[in-house]
Amino acid sequence: MNQELRLESRGAKKHASPQPLALGTDACFLLLASTRHAFTLVESLVYSALLAFFIGAAFIVTTQVLENARKDRSKLEVSEEAEFIMKKIEWALIDASTTTIPMAGTSSSTLKVLKYGFAENPLEFRLQDESVELKRSTGAFTRLNNTRVKVTGLTFEHTRDDTNEQSLVDVTLTVENKPEEEETIFEASTTLQSTFRI
């Protein structure tokens, strides 16, 4: 009878349903990781080349954007400086009673005028060391433009309009950028011309 029981118990073991295998989280991770495929050498090289291409393209675009912004800033500064200087000259000539320099029929890089009802006569403009300077009465000359631009031309031409018995002063002003040592050199310049009746 003991043998029958042993046989039955063995048979029961044979036909018993299998029990699920209990795995810990570390074992599950290792099992999943072992089923993943790694990148091949060719795939790694292709991805590295694509990454290098995009980084290089981004660098080139960024460099061009910064250089264009520098050029635009320089052009704007040159234009603003030229307009500021011309407005100062216009202010001096609007109510001018007399122009002593240049004399009628001549031209000069210096302008000396007397204004009606102005306490600090005479006003004198001159081109000195690539800058426009202004002097009021007996005071010192004051620089009108900043150091990032240079004035390469300033001409005052004094003519006489005999039909109206008036003097005309033609002003020509040229301002250019003055790039810093480390900057890429590029041209930014402007020329303004105006005629004033006195």
Cβ–Cβ under 8 Å, residues 174 and 108: no
pLDDT in tens, 97-156: 888 899 988 999 999 999 998 999 999 999 999 999 999 999 999 999 999 899 999 999
Mean pLDDT of 42-58: 92
Question: What is the band of 5 on the pLDDT scale with cuts at 50, 70, 90?
Answer: very low
Asked if residues 61 and 54 have their Cβ atoms less than 8 Å apart, the reply is no
Longest dimension (CA), the chain: 151
Indicate the average pLDDT of the chain. Answer: 83
> Mean pLDDT across the stretch 157-181?
86
pLDDT of residue 92: 93
Q: pLDDT class for 166, splitting at 50, 70, 90? A: confident
Indicate the pTM of the whole model: 0.69
Gyration radius (Cα) of the chain, Å = 43
pLDDT at 14 over 80: no
Share of the chain above pLDDT 90, in %: 54
Question: What pLDDT was estimated at residue 34?
Answer: 52
Q: What confidence category does residue 22 fall into, taking pLDDT thresholds of 50, 70 and 90?
A: low
What string of H, E and C letters represents the secondary structure of the chain?
A: CHHHHHHHHHHHHHHCCCCCCCCCHHHHHHHHHHHCCCCCHHHHHHHHHHHHHHHHHHHHHHHHHHHHHHHHHHHHHHHHHHHHHHHHHHHHHHCEEEEEECCCCEEECEEEEEECCCCCCCEEEEEECCEEEEEECCCCCEECCCCCEEEEEEEEEEEEECCCCEEEEEEEEEEEECCCCCCCCCCCEEEEEEEEEC
* pLDDT confidence of residue 32: 52
Percentage of the chain exceeding pLDDT 70: 78
What CA–CA distance (Å, rounded) separates 135 from 145? 14
Among 35-49, 57-71, 158-172, top mean pLDDT goes to 57-71
**Picking from 34-38, 130-134, 190-194, which range would have the lowest pLDDT averaged per residue?**
34-38
Length of the chain: 198
